[in-house]
């Protein structure tokens, strides 16, 4: 009888490169795009930190949804983040509602969710 052990973490660099490319391919959103909506870098950073807290608290694989990198913005280099659909949604839900766009978006998401789901089931 043979026993096969599977590890969740891989140490081979080629596996990491493959997974990184695979995850990155499923991240169509950029955190810096929120700057065009009038958000401050500090607000976006806080939204990302809170979204990462949610992911880690639920033991979800952060690498599948968030990929930090540097991008060019206004003739300078800034820290940016590629986001999956779930990652982007979590960032949006955790942004400061002082921005009218974000407040409206959060209200729309909540309204849609409550119309689709009965909260007594949660």
Would you write out the chain's pLDDT as a tens digit for each of its 122 residues? 566 656 666 567 788 888 888 899 999 999 999 999 999 999 999 999 999 999 999 999 999 999 999 998 888 888 999 999 999 999 999 999 999 999 999 999 999 999 998 878 77
Closest CA to 46 of 4, 116, 93: 93
Using CA atoms, how far apart are residues 121 and 117, in angstroms rounded to an integer? 8
Query: pTM for this one?
Result: 0.81
Q: At what angle do helices 100-116 and 85-93 cross, to 10 degrees?
A: 110
At 16 the three-state DSSP class reads helix
């Amino acid at each position: 009888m043979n026993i096969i052990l599977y590890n969740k973490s891989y140490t081979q660099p080629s596996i990491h490169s493959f997974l990184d490319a695979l995850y990155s391919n499923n991240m169509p959103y950029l955190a810096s795009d929120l700057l065009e909506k009038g958000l401050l870098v500090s607000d976006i950073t806080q939204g990302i930190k809170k979204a990462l807290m949610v992911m880690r608290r639920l033991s979800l694989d952060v690498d599948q949804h968030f990929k930090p990198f540097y991008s060019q913005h206004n003739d300078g280099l800034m820290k940016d983040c590629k986001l999956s659909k779930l990652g982007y949604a979590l960032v949006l839900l955790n942004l400061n509602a002082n921005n009218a766009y974000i407040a409206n978006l959060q209200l729309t998401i909540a309204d849609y969710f409550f119309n689709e789901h009965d909260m007594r089931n949660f």
